[in-house]
Each structure stands twice: as C-alpha cells, then as structure tokens.
C-alpha cells in the first residue's frame, strides 16, 4: 500500500538532494571540524557554507546563526538566556497556543518563581493584540510568540509584536519552526531578537535545529562546554545534520514560490473537497491568515483517533487534536484556547502538505475520508438526521 | 500511537452489533461529548430474562468502539443474572487487554451495562450518587471509590486511566489521593484481638463440642483434644473414626476448617496417636 503522507507539520521526508549532500559526512569526511589539520578543517569550511545558506533563508548574517540539536533546544535556550541576562526581570509573555517546547517550559518557570502571561486568541486563532500590549511591563524579560501555529497554521503578526516589545525594551523570541521555508522571513527588516527553526520540518533530518540571535543581544549559553558555535553552544557539531540543514534551507528558498502557489492550491482543493462532501464540518482557524500547507478540519460527532486509524487503513497519515491522540484526556490546548466546542474539538484532523504532495494524493484523500466519517457517524449516538438537515441549511 | 491488541483492532475495524435494537426493553446511556466518549447500549431481554439482542452506539476512540462491540458480543445469549456479573476487567480481557491509559473505555462499557439493566428492572434513572470530585470530567467520589475497590487501584494516575478523574486541570489530585487512602483503609485486614492460650483452648473445646462431636458420635466415633502448641492443634480420634483410615484426611480437613472459622484463622490440625 502506498503511503499518502499528509503530516508534514509533524515531520518531513529528507529531500534526496539533502541526503546526497550529507552522505560524505557520514562516510569519508568524518573529521572533527575543530581539528587543526586539513582533514578536519575542510569540514569546518563546509559548516561555514551551511551557516551562510541558513542565514540567507532568514535574511540574517551567518554569525547570528547558532546550530542546536532541535527546535525545542533553541526555544529553551532563548527563553533561559533572556531570564539569565535580564537581571531582575522575571516575567515572560507568551501565548495560549504555543508548542510544548515553550508552553511546558513556561509552566516549569512558574514553579521556579517566574510570572508568565499567556495571551489569548479568538475563535479563529488570532492574537488579542490589545491584551498583548498591556501585558508588557518593566519586569518583562522576554516575549516568546510562535510565528505560525503547528496545529492550525494560523500566522501571528510577530514583526509588529516585536516592534512593540522593542519600544518597551523587552527581548522578543519567535518559534518559527513551522513558518521557516513556507512563508518569507527577513530578519534584516525586522527587530526580532531571537528565532528558532528545526531541520526536520523543512526536509532536513531530525536532530538539528537553529537559534538565530541578533548581533548585540545579550546571550547566555544553554549547553556549556567547548568553544563550538563561538562559545554559544558547546558540543561537537552534528556535521552531517548541519550540512543537510544548509542544503535544505537553500532549497526551501528556491521552493517558497511553489509552496505559496501549487501547495496552497492543493491545500485549498483538499479543504473545499472535504467540506463539500462532509456535512457538519468546519475549518479551525480558517478566518486567520494561515500557512499555505496546513488545514485543520473538525468533523462533528466523531472522534479523531478513530478517524486517524481508519485513514491509516488506506495508508493516509495525518494528526488529530482529539484527547485520545494527544495522550492526555482533553483535546488540544490550541483548539480549547480558540473556544472550539467539544462536539468539534474531539473530531479534528490536521492535514499538512509539502512540495512532495501530488494532486492525485489530494484527490484520494477527498475520496476516502468522507466515507470514514460517514461510517463513524453511523454508530455515533450524537449523530441525528436533524443535525444533518441543520448543516445543509448553513 | 497506542499499542492495541489484534482483537481490539479487529473489533474497531469491524464492529459487531452497531446500531439500535428495535423494541429494546433495556437502554443505558453514559458519557458525554465533553468527556470525549459516550456509549448507548440497547438490549432486548425475553420473557425468561435472557438477552436476545444487544447493540451499541459509540462516540469515542478505537478502544471505546472495540469495548462496546466486545460488550455486545459478551451479552448476547446471557441471562440478566449472568450479565450483572460482567466487570470492566472482563471486557478488557475479552479484547486481550487494553492499554492502561484506555481502561476507562472498559469502565464506560460496564457503566452502560449497569444503566441498561437498571432500566430493564424499571428503576428510575439513577440520580447522581455522591459528590463531584473531578470537575473537568464530572466524576463523583462514589465512582472513584468503586473503581479503586474493583480494580485495586493505588495511584492517582491509575484512577485517571480508569475513570478519567484528574486528567484535566489536575486540581482534584489531592482529593483523589484521599479517596484512595480511605478505600485502602477500609480494606486493610481487620485487626483481631490477641487471643490468650487459655481462651484459645477453651474456644477449641467449645467448637469441637458444638460443631464436630455431634455428627461423629452419631456414627459411633469421637474426637479428643490432645494439646495446643502455638497454632498447632493436636487431636486424637476414637471409636469408629480411629479405625476408619479412609476418612482420616477428610476429618482433619473438616475439623481444621471449623476451627479456623470459629477460633483463629491460622490454626492447623494434626492427628496424633492417642
């Protein structure tokens, strides 16, 4: 059975070109980039090139790029650095819909005596900017606000939010793990202080990430050790991963146009196809500005895990914000923050595309998903014919 | 991804008895949309109290659907009396086990069955019993105590796995811990007053006289207490019993059982020659 991969916000396939660039560093070129001899030094030279490739995608300067092990490490580093260098500032501003790498860390910081403000969102996942402005106080050490939401694809106005923070002398960090490679980022034109990206979300391998730190920003390392990354992140470099990420960033810049045309059209086709065929369904965050590759659709009166496992029978890979798939007993914190009703939240499915998604795959999902919903509704105690009539009226 | 048994997967992919029984005379509905799973069970019980047909409607994850399907298969052809005895563990066992985080799906099945059977008996739908402990999932202290008692639960995490209580905001964790402690205390072995040796011997004599001798004497036999050493009770048989070697074992067993019941649970009986 052919796999139809529609879960690119979870992880992506490694691009063949990326793998090709990496392979020599897993075979012949195993030297340590810190070594004095040419065998190591040539690796260092290519890491420098990868740093330039990453910087180019972000509109940054290469020495503002720190390689890390993942997006979570980058997020942790940014927030802890701000608290460590911020003297008496013990306040963190974030949002209700952050990735666990930020959200769970903030919960932990509360236990350690920090004050954390979570800015709410509206039903469409849009940030409450008034509340945000009011939340910035003289003791605020940092704002950490995701650029685009992993579950709904909703985009936050981070550049504007960063300016407001800068006016008040507050550091601004953004988790751009989902945004990088899908929408243009130009740090040269913004006042964002720190930004995280993750390799495996843009067709590089797992185990490599980046933290951008603007020149002149006070910084305190998270991982203390050797002089690697100019003393900002100890530990021998993940050379193959870094080379791969460099190549992936170069390709992402070239494919940005396709992402925002062909991929966006496929996403829209998928969304419309499903909404047309399945009554009592709606797009979560549909009223927000969104990433071109993501759709989050709720099918009322059915449960997400059951949908995913039936889709799995057709080789279709997707995610859900239902309680049973989150590993907790409540539906996703993102959907709850948006006030999505329980009848909808438990039956949410996230489909996220990539440049490798084909029209044929999209059409197969449009064909195969509606009967799955119908089957599950067939024995749902909440699914009543009246509900169906009501849906066709709206 | 959850590790489901093949049987769970099979019942999820091909659920048995989905739908509603026409002319059902036992209907049970439990759970809610907010909780993330709900189950409606409809049964048709014949005049002899046998369950002729059983169907389910479920809103929930794969294991909730499989548990409901399994329950209907278990119920068909059973008498109401037999059905009353089905526990949530029986449902899980039928499926070859459930991941521990999913045990609440089997509990939901058991609750729907209880509700359907009480509906069959013509009882008014039960008022909510007890006080709500977990606000997030609307779980009462009675439900938590029942789950703790029936499944021998010892931690908050286990209670959450079985009842969902404590799986939301977590503010009720202390209350759940207190409930677990209360049930555990109830179940702790009853402390017996210490028995003095003289009292023990007296009680053994009384029990032999009252419970054993009359029937032995009818058959021309008798039993005599020789000694008591700690919990060892030494007896000798006389008359017909003494020569009837075949009954020796039975007799020792019978005497031991009676003495353990009436005197002290750790007594052992040995027969010694007179």
CA separation, residue A215 to residues A142, A164, A174, A195, A218 (Å) = 17, 19, 16, 13, 9
Mean pLDDT of B186-211: 80
In this complex, do A324 and B160 lie within 8 Å of one another by their Cβ atoms? no
Question: Does residue A326 surpass a pLDDT of 70?
Answer: no
Looking at B89, B124, B159, which one is the last position of a domain?
Answer: B124
Looking at B76, B97, B124, which one is the last position of a domain?
Answer: B124
**B172 lies in the same domain as B220:** no
Find the chain B residues whose C-beta atoms sit closer than 8 A to any C-beta of A: 2, 12-13, 15, 18-19, 29, 33-34, 36-40, 56-62, 64-65, 101, 136-137, 160, 164, 167-168
CA separation, residue A176 to residues A7, A81, A324 (Å) = 18, 18, 27
In this complex, do B34 and A342 lie within 8 Å of one another by their Cβ atoms? yes
**Cβ proximity of A14 and A202 under 8 Å:** no
Task: Measure in Å the smallest separation between the Cα of A182 and chain B Cα atoms.
Answer: 28
**B58 lies in the same domain as B158:** no
For A323, nearest residue in chain B (alpha carbons) = B36
Instruction: Supply φ then ψ for residue B89, to 5 degrees.
Output: -65, -35
Active site residue B172: no
Domains of chain A with CATH codes: 4-10+256-393 (3.90.1150.10), 16-252 (3.40.640.10)
Give the pLDDT score at B71.
Answer: 97
**B116 lies in the same domain as B134:** no
**Cβ proximity of A69 and A209 under 8 Å:** yes
For A304, nearest residue in chain B (alpha carbons) = B61
Mean pLDDT of A378-388: 77
**B37 lies in the same domain as B79:** yes
Give the pLDDT score at A386.
Answer: 59
| CATH number of residue B79's parent domain | 3.90.1010.10
Question: Which is more confidently placed, B167 or A239?
Answer: A239
Give the tens place of pLDDT for each residue, A341-377.
888 999 999 999 999 999 999 999 999 999 999 999 9
CA separation, residue B10 to residues A393, B4, B19, B39, B189 (Å) = 37, 10, 18, 19, 43
Give the tens place of pLDDT for each residue, A162-191.
999 999 999 999 999 999 999 999 999 999
Question: Does residue B248 surpass a pLDDT of 80?
Answer: no
Looking at B150, B167, B188, which one is the last position of a domain?
Answer: B188
Give the pLDDT score at A389.
Answer: 45
**B134 lies in the same domain as B59:** no
Question: Does residue A394 surpass a pLDDT of 50?
Answer: no
Inter-chain contacts counted by CB atoms under 8 A, chains A and B: 72
Task: Measure in Å the smallest separation between the Cα of B268 and chain A Cα atoms.
Answer: 52
Select from B34, B62, B101 the Cβ nearest to the Cβ of A309: B62
**B221 lies in the same domain as B259:** yes
Helices (H), chain B: 6-13, 62-75, 80-84, 88-94, 103-120, 141-151, 156-163, 173-187, 197-207, 213-218, 240-243, 248-262
| Residues in chain A closer than 8 A to B56 (CB atoms) | 379
B160 closest CA partner among B181, B144, B146, B140: B144
Give the tens place of pLDDT for each residue, A44-86.
999 999 999 999 999 999 999 999 999 999 999 999 999 999 9
Q: How many domains does chain B have?
A: 3
Give the tens place of pLDDT for each residue, A98-112.
999 999 999 999 999
Task: Measure in Å the smallest separation between the Cα of B158 and chain A Cα atoms.
Answer: 13
For B4, nearest residue in chain A (alpha carbons) = A309
**B113 lies in the same domain as B139:** no
Mean pLDDT of A296-322: 95
Give the pLDDT score at B34.
Answer: 75
ipTM: 0.87
Question: Which is more confidently placed, A391 or B78?
Answer: B78
Give the pLDDT score at B245.
Answer: 54
**B103 lies in the same domain as B145:** no
Active-site choice (A114, A249, A324, A390): A324
Domain of B181? 127-188
**B181 lies in the same domain as B145:** yes
Least confident of A321-325, B16-20, B207-211: A321-325
| Residues in chain B closer than 8 A to A309 (CB atoms) | 12, 62
Give the pLDDT score at B273.
Answer: 76
Least confident of A21-30, A230-239, B208-217, B240-249: B240-249
In this complex, do B59 and A313 lie within 8 Å of one another by their Cβ atoms? no
Q: What does the alpha-carbon distance between residue B147 and residue B108 come to, in Å, rounded to a whole number?
A: 11
**B150 lies in the same domain as B257:** no
In this complex, do B33 and A346 lie within 8 Å of one another by their Cβ atoms? yes
Active-site choice (B61, B105, B169, B244): B105
Question: Does residue B194 surpass a pLDDT of 80?
Answer: no
For B18, nearest residue in chain A (alpha carbons) = A379
Active site residue A324: yes
Mean pLDDT of B134-163: 89
Mean pLDDT of B76-95: 95
**B253 lies in the same domain as B215:** yes
pTM (2 d.p.) = 0.81
**B139 lies in the same domain as B212:** no
Give the pLDDT score at B101.
Answer: 86
């Amino acid at each position: 059975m052919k796999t139809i991969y529609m879960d690119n916000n979870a992880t992506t396939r490694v691009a063949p070109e990326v793998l090709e660039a990496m392979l020599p560093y897993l075979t012949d070129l195993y030297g340590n980039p810190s070594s004095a001899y040419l065998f190591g030094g040539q690796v260092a030279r290519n890491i420098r090139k990868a740093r330039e490739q990453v910087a180019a995608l972000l509109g940054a300067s290469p020495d503002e790029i720190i390689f890390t092990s993942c997006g979570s490490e980058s997020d942790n580093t940014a927030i802890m650095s701000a608290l460590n260098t911020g003297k008496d500032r013990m306040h963190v501003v974030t949002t209700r819909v952050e990735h666990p790498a930020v959200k769970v860390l903030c919960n932990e910081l509360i236990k350690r005596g920090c004050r954390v403000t979570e800015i709410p969102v509206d039903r469409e996942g849009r940030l409450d900017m008034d509340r945000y402005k009011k939340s910035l106080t003289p003791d605020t050490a940092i704002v950490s606000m995701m650029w685009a939401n992993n579950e709904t694809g909703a985009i936050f106005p981070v550049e504007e939010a960063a300016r407001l923070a800068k006016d008040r002398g507050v550091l601004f960090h953004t988790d751009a793990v989902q945004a990088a490679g899908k929408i243009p980022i130009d740090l040269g034109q913004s006042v964002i202080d720190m930004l995280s990206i993750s390799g495996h979300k843009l067709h590089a391998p797992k185990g490599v990430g980046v933290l951008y730190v603007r020149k002149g920003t006070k910084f305190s390392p998270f991982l203390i050790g050797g002089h690697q990354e100019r003393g900002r992140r100890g530990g021998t470099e993940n050379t193959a991963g870094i080379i791969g990420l460099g190549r992936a960033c170069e390709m992402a810049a070239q494919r940005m146009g396709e992402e925002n045309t062909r991929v966006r059209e496929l996403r829209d086709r998928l969304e419309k196809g499903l909404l047309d065929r399945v009554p009592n369904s709606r797009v979560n965050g549909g009223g927000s500005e969104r990433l071109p590759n993501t759709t989050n659709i709720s099918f009322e009166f059915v449960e997400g895990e059951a949908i995913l496992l039936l889709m799995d029978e057709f080789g279709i890979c997707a995610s859900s914000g239902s309680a049973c798939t989150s590993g907790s007993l409540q539906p996703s914190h993102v959907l709850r923050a948006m006030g999505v009703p329980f009848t909808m939240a438990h039956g949410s499915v996230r489909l996220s595309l990539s440049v490798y998604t084909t029209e044929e795959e999209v059409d197969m999902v449009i064909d195969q998903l509606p009967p799955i919903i119908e089957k599950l509704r067939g024995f749902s105690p909440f699914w009543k014919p009246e509900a169906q009539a009501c849906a066709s009226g709206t | 991804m959850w590790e489901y048994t093949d049987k769970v997967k099979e019942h999820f992919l091909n659920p048995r008895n989905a739908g509603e029984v026409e002319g059902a005379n036992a209907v049970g509905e439990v759970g809610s949309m907010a909780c993330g799973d709900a189950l409606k069970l409809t049964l048709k019980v014949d005049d002899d109290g046998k369950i002729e047909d059983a169907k389910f409607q479920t809103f929930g994850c794969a294991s909730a659907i499989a548990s409901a399907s399994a329950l209907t298969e278990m119920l068909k052809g059973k008498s109401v009396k037999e059905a009353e005895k089905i526990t949530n563990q029986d449902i899980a066992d039928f499926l070859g086990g459930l991941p521990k985080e999913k045990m609440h799906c089997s509990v939901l099945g058991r609750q729907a069955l209880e509700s359907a059977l009480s509906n069959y008996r013509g009882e008014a739908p039960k008022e909510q019993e007890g006080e709500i402990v977990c606000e997030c999932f609307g779980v009462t202290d009675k439900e938590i105590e029942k789950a703790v008692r029936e499944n021998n639960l010892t931690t908050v995490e286990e209670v959450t796995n079985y009842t969902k209580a404590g799986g939301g905001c977590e503010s009720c964790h202390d209350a759940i811990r207190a409930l677990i402690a209360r049930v555990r205390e109830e179940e702790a072995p009853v402390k017996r007053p210490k028995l003095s040796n003289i009292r023990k011997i007296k009680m053994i004599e009384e029990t032999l006289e009252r419970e054993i001798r009359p029937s032995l004497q009818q058959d021309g036999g008798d039993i005599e207490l020789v000694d008591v050493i700690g919990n060892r009770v030494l007896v000798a048989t006389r008359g017909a019993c003494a020569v009837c070697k075949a009954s020796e074992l039975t007799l020792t067993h019978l005497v031991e059982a009676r003495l353990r019941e009436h005197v002290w649970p750790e007594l052992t009986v040995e027969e010694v020659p007179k």
